[in-house]
Structure 1
Amino acid sequence: MSNPINSKTPMDKSNLTCPYCQSLKIMRHGFSVRKSGEKLQRYWCNECDRTFTLKNA
């Protein structure tokens, strides 16, 4: 029986690329909090030195 509280499956980050330069050299870079209180993981690209979240990727 699966637990509905823990039913979220982990995201596959093996294909996470930078939306600006398509580099695979991505590192987590803190969080961004929206006005609604939604907390989004920020990522940093080691190639083009830009940050992004998956919401704007």
Structure 2
Amino acid sequence: MEPKKLYRSRTDRMICGVCGGIAEYFNIDATIVRLLFVLLGLTGGSGILAYFIAAIIIPDDK
């Protein structure tokens, strides 16, 4: 069995597909992940920074 890998989603994306990719990896709804990033963004801006760092680091889905 091949190990699970984290990719940015091509099908479930709003900006870069980071939240959709994280949701697919953990097998949860992408809306929950998006809400978590928004909450992090509202509490000091760390969610916005984390999102764009993840968009750079996480590779695009094949």
| TM-score, length of structure 2 as denominator length | 0.25
Q: Which has the higher strand share?
A: 1
Larger Rg: 1
| TM-score, length of structure 1 as denominator length | 0.26
**Which fold has the larger relative contact order, with Cα–Cα distance below 8 Å and residues 6 or more apart in sequence?**
2
Q: Which has the higher helix share?
A: 2
